[in-house]
Structure 1
Amino acid sequence: MTYNVIYDGNCNLCVTLVQLLESLDSGKMFEYAPMQNEETLSRFGITPKDCEMGMILIDADAPQRRWQGSDAAEEIGRLLPIGIIFVEAYRALPGVKWAGDRIYEQIRDNRYTLFGKRTATYQSGYPISCSSQGTCSD
């Protein structure tokens, strides 16, 4: 299974987390595109306005299955080896999911102030491929 991660390629925190995920996964399960890549966004029917709600995770085998924001972060965690244990514990604790969602929103909305903005958009070494989108005709 492959999942497509749409992230903010100008956000220092976002890029650091993508780089961590790249090092853990080495492109086996996740492929990436910055939300600044309008061509990729249009292939998925994603608008820049959609990206304002945070990172997006797309199931490449069933592109209608999507997660966004803190739900995307949780799903990525769930997909990682032994990650499901932590995600299920997090979701099971009363009020923690709600608090996590609010914290995600605050970080999302203030990410450049809190963590800085890159001078150049980060391009992953594991870009979303045409085969995972099924829409390329190259």
Structure 2
Amino acid sequence: MLANGITLGMKKKGESTYSDLPGLKEVPELGVDPEKVDNTTLADKMKHSELGIGDPGDLAYKFKWENEENSSYRKLRTVSDAKETVSFEQTFPDGTKFHFDAQCSVKVGGGGVNAAIEYTLTLGLQTDIEVSDPA
């Protein structure tokens, strides 16, 4: 399956539906890398470890630069400036959905000769990522 067609939606508290955030160009890996915790005793002949809590890493989404009245950039910047926690829904073309709440920050990228301007949405998770499989 190609990544083409992945969408990211956002809804604020009290809203019932997700609003699509147009201009999405790149999505991060979703999941966790659990920390390996050493649990070796003095009687053990080799190291023993357990998997601890997971670290989702940086959730950074890249978007095409647009700064119009109802653009994704303005919506996300408003949420970022207010330090508001909102709900996100990332949907794959096959219907797999990932739901989570997060705070966000928005950063406009630099530019160069013959390069498109982008902005990056970085999310700080406030809940676990819940996965809904397609029917």
TM-score where L is the length of structure 2:
0.24
TM-score where L is the length of structure 1:
0.24
Q: Larger % of helix: which?
A: 1
Structure with the greater alpha carbon radius of gyration: 2
Q: Larger % of strand: which?
A: 2
